[in-house]
Amino acid sequence: QVQLQESGPGLVKPSQTLSLTCTVSGGSISSDNYYWSWIRQHPGKGLEWIGYIYYSGSTYYTPSLKSRVTISVDTSKNQFSLKLTSVTAADTAVYYCARGQHLFDPWGQGTLVTVSS
Amino acid sequence: SFELTQPPSVSVSPGQTASITCSGDKLGAKYACWYQQKPGQSPVLVIYHNNKRPSGIPERFSGSNSGNTATLTISGTQAMDEADYYCQAWDSSNVVFGGGTKLTVL
């Protein structure tokens, strides 16, 4: 049974880069033609898809964040990562990693990232 | 841009049927899925490809999608079904979530 776990700093200063890693266990990140996604949820709000990556490195990002987002994959570590540059308070959210391209199952437990000086 | 609209809240009595709608332009021509999110927990996929249930999801959860509206139906609603529910679809490779519906069982 595949499980995902997010990790990374819980506090990031404005204008800096948010960096998170998702570790996949119970299965290979490069098997079964799965894509891997990042999704965020602002406090008390709904879900916002950020983008996805294939194990080959192919990516697709939501247009509203495309200029600031990079998703990468490290198949040797069974991990994929999110970088979001030039963060502001509006990027404060719970960040989830999930398996999937157009539907998501399963999800990681999520990690709260607060942008504050 | 493609948008999905859900009612902010729905209430249902225990044992009754709850219906949560999700509206979007020509949504019936796309695949819709639904997630359940309980407080402090990650979302869980409960319906995919309009009407399919993942393994482990109770049979009381069902879905439909036609025209401009997808519907999540929970038959014989239980107290444990109280949660936020999000619909989701994709359009031109962009994933879109609805704003979420809080289901109250009272």
Q: What is the pLDDT of residues A60-89, one digit of tens each?
A: 999 999 999 999 999 999 999 999 999 999
Whether A34 and chain B come into contact, CB under 8 Å, resolves to: no
Residues A12-50 pLDDT 10s: 999 999 999 999 999 999 987 899 999 999 999 999 999
Using CB atoms, pick whichever of A102, A105, A110 lies closest to residue B95.
A102
Quote the CA–CA distance of B51 and B69 in Å, as a whole number.
Answer: 13
pLDDT tops 80 at residue B95? yes
Residue A24: both structure tokens together: 């996949």
Residue B99: both structure tokens together: 């704003």
In this prediction, residues A78-104 reach a mean pLDDT of: 97
Roughly how many angstroms between the first and final C-alpha of chain A, as a whole number? 39
Residues of chain A positioned with their CB less than 8 A from the CB of B2: none
Cβ-based neighbour number of residue A20 at 10 Å: 22
Confidence (pLDDT) at A50: 98
Give the chain A residue nearest B54 (alpha carbons). Answer: A105
Whether B31 and chain A come into contact, CB under 8 Å, resolves to: yes
Quote the CA–CA distance of A87 and A13 in Å, as a whole number.
Answer: 8
Give the chain A residue nearest B96 (alpha carbons). Answer: A49
Quote the CA–CA distance of B18 and B6 in Å, as a whole number.
Answer: 14
Helices and strands, number each (H, E), in chain B: 0, 9
Residues B33-52 pLDDT 10s: 999 999 999 999 999 999 99
Residues of chain B positioned with their CB less than 8 A from the CB of A107: 42-44
Whether B7 and chain A come into contact, CB under 8 Å, resolves to: no
CB B5 within 8 A of CB B98: yes
Give the chain B residue nearest A62 (alpha carbons). Answer: B94
Distances (CA, A) of B53 to A105, B35, B42, B49, B60: 12, 11, 18, 9, 10
Confidence (pLDDT) at B92: 85
In this prediction, residues A102-108 reach a mean pLDDT of: 96
- Residue B44 and residue A107: Cβ atoms within 8 Å? yes
Put the strands of the sheet holding A111-115 in their side by side order.
A11-12, A111-115, A93-99, A35-41, A47-54, A59-61
Using CB atoms, pick whichever of B45, B95, B99 lies closest to residue A105.
B45
CA-derived radius of gyration, chain A: 13
Whether B33 and chain A come into contact, CB under 8 Å, resolves to: yes
CB B74 within 8 A of CB B64: no
How far apart are the CA of B96 and the nearest CA of chain A, in angstroms?
Answer: 7
